[in-house]
Amino acid sequence: MSILLLAEHNGHQLSPAVYKAVTAAQFWNAPVHVLLAGGNSEILQQVASIQGVVRVIHANAAHLAHPLAEDVAKLLVTIAGEYKVIVAAHGSFSRNILPRAAALLDVAMISDVLEIKPDNTYVRSIYAGNIHTTIQSTDALQILTVHSSNFAAAATGENAEITSVEAPAAFGKTRWMSEHHAHSERPALSSAKVVVSGGRSLGSAENFEGVLAPLASKLGAALGATRAAVDAGYAANEMQVGQTGVVVAPELYIAVGISGAIQHTYGMKDSRVIVAINQDPEAPIFQVADYGLVADLFEVVPELVSSIN
């Protein structure tokens, strides 16, 4: 039996996490089919080109232009019979849809899998990443999301078969109204190679931007924030890194004036290199940092900016 991967896209582009989920899906040594709900021909080609994808199943209908959980879950149920695994990259898209599909199929779902093991066994974290558990599913069908930063991105250059499937009629009781995405010149937070994040200590929205943006632009970095900084209105919601925000794993993560609460470190502790700047030598952030600088951020961040080529 095959593996079904649910792909996320934003109407223009395939989510970068899909490439990583394709790598995770190779675990079962079975053909990997990708379901694309909505999306244009360009996205379809992007999926078909991923190495390790055997078939792309495209569901296209007017009501899938902005796919709702109600509609995609029903679509998944109509084709689930052919598969032993339904998998997606963990993110707000899959977290919305897959539990709904799982309940319709009477299957338990396994969220945010760190490692896939033989015999329907998985490692996942609980308590904001403080504990890892190994669990085994007793269901015949496996439904899971994977922690994409734990898997390498699959290469491209293939040309998978493209088929189409008819979408069930629209659910109708939920209507998509609008979306709002911050338009930023900076790279997307979840896939950036470098992330500069700031905390409450920045003190104002003006400082947040004024102190951190020059550093981010020098490094070609995305800007992130703690919940405290977001709650104080210094940074936008979608910039929150952590248990209840975005999970990032860049090459370089620079934490500026961040205490290092577990809810925050959950979202960044898998970064390759972590730098922390904090004036309190006892701040917990130094326990996860590779390089700690005990200093006043308002002095050293500008110095850092002028010292970078």
Partner 1 sequence: MKILVAVKRVVDYNVKVRVKADGSDVDINNVKMSVNPFDENAIEEALRLKEQGKATEVVAVSFGSAANQDVLRHALAMGADRAILVESPATLQQLGVAKLLKAVVEREQPDLVILGKQAIDDDAGQTGQMLAALLDYPQATFISEIKVEGNGISVTREVDGGTESLALTLPAVVTADLRLNEPRFVKLPNLMMARKKPIESISADSFGVDTAPRLKLLGASEPPARKSGIKVGSVQELLSKLRAVEGIAL
Instruction: CB nearer to ligand FAD: give 34 or 248.
Output: 248
Q: How far apart are CA 295 and CA 292, in angstroms?
A: 9
Interface map 268-297 toward ligand FAD (x if CB under 6 A): ---------xxxx--x------------xx
Pick from partner 1, ligand FAD, none: which does 297 bind, CB < 5 to 8 A by kind?
A: ligand FAD
Site string for ligand FAD, 224-263 (x = CB under 6 A): --xxxx----------xxxxxx-----------xxx-x-x
Cβ(241)–Cβ(195) under 8 Å?
yes
Smallest gap from residue 199 Cβ to partner 1 (A): 17
Smallest distance, ligand FAD to C-beta of residue 214, A: 16
Q: Which two tokens stand for residue 95?
A: 């977290």
Beta-sheet pairing, 83-89 with 2-6: parallel
Size of the site for ligand FAD (CB under 6 A): 28
Determine which helix (DSSP H) or strand (DSSP E) holds 216, and give its type and residue range. helix 205-219
Q: Which residues of 42-51 are buried (b: 16+ CB within 10 A; e: fewer)?
A: ebbebbbbbe
Site for ligand FAD in 29-68 (CB under 6 A): none
Cβ atoms of residues 73 and 100 within 8 Å: yes
**187-206: contacts with ligand FAD (CB under 6 A):** 199-201
Beta bridge partners of 161: 55
Cα–Cα distance for residue pair 50/54, rounded to 1 Å:
9
Nearer to ligand FAD, 142 or 145 (CB): 145
Instruction: Among 33, 74, 90, 264, indicate the residue that binds ligand FAD (CB under 6 A).
Output: 264
Nearest approach in angstroms of CB 97 to ligand FAD is 22
> Could you tell which of partner 1, ligand FAD, none binds residue 108, using a CB distance below 5 to 8 A set by kind?
partner 1
Quickly list DSSP for 59-95: E--GGGSS--HHHHHHHHHHHGGGEEEEEEESSHHHH
Q: Which C-beta is closer to partner 1: that of 32 or that of 301?
A: 301
Contacts of 80 (CB under 8 A, 6+ apart): 4, 86, 101, 105, 141
Helix (H) or strand (E) holding 47, with range, is: helix 41-48
**Cβ closest to partner 1, residue 5 vs residue 255:** 255
Residue numbers of the site for ligand FAD (CB under 6 A)? 199-201, 226-229, 240-245, 257-259, 261, 263-264, 267, 277-280, 283, 296-298
